[in-house]
């Protein structure tokens, strides 16, 4: 089982995958750069809850757009190309 499909049970007993949790986080706060970055770490591409399709690179770029002073985001975007 890949990391994006690992289930986490919330306090209310509802099981959610990591992917679902990041999508919910983006839905609740679309300005949170960490959610885009972390979603990019576990998915090659995704359709957000608002219907927008994004690739891993687009998720990283969105995180940078929201937090342009976070050096970690730039480093991880650069490392993404070396893993191909």
Pairing outcome for strands 45-47 and 53-55: antiparallel
- In order along its 84 residues, the chain shows pLDDT tens digits of 455 556 677 667 778 888 999 999 999 999 999 999 999 999 889 999 899 999 999 999 999 999 999 999 999 899 886 554
Q: Give the global pTM.
A: 0.79
Q: How many domains does the chain have?
A: 1
Which CATH number goes with the domain that contains 26? 1.25.40.10
Domain carrying residue 44: 3-77
Dihedral, 63, 68, 69, 73 alpha carbons, nearest 10 = 40
Confirm whether 54 is domain-assigned.
yes
Confirm whether 84 is domain-assigned.
no
Confirm whether 83 is domain-assigned.
no
In the chain, beta strands by DSSP E: 7-9, 15-17, 45-47, 53-55
Q: What is the pLDDT of residue 12?
A: 76
Confirm whether 48 is domain-assigned.
yes
Q: What is the pLDDT of residue 84?
A: 44
Confirm whether 66 is domain-assigned.
yes
**Interatomic CA distance for residues 74 and 27, integer angstroms:** 24
């Amino acid at each position: 089982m890949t990391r994006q499909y690992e289930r986490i049970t919330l306090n209310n007993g509802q099981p959610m995958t990591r992917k679902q949790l990041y999508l919910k986080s983006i839905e609740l706060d679309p300005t949170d750069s960490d959610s885009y970055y972390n979603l990019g770490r576990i998915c090659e591409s995704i359709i957000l809850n608002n219907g927008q399709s994004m690739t891993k690179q687009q998720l990283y770029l969105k995180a940078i757009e929201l937090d342009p002073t976070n050096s970690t985001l730039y480093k991880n975007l650069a490392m993404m190309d070396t893993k191909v």
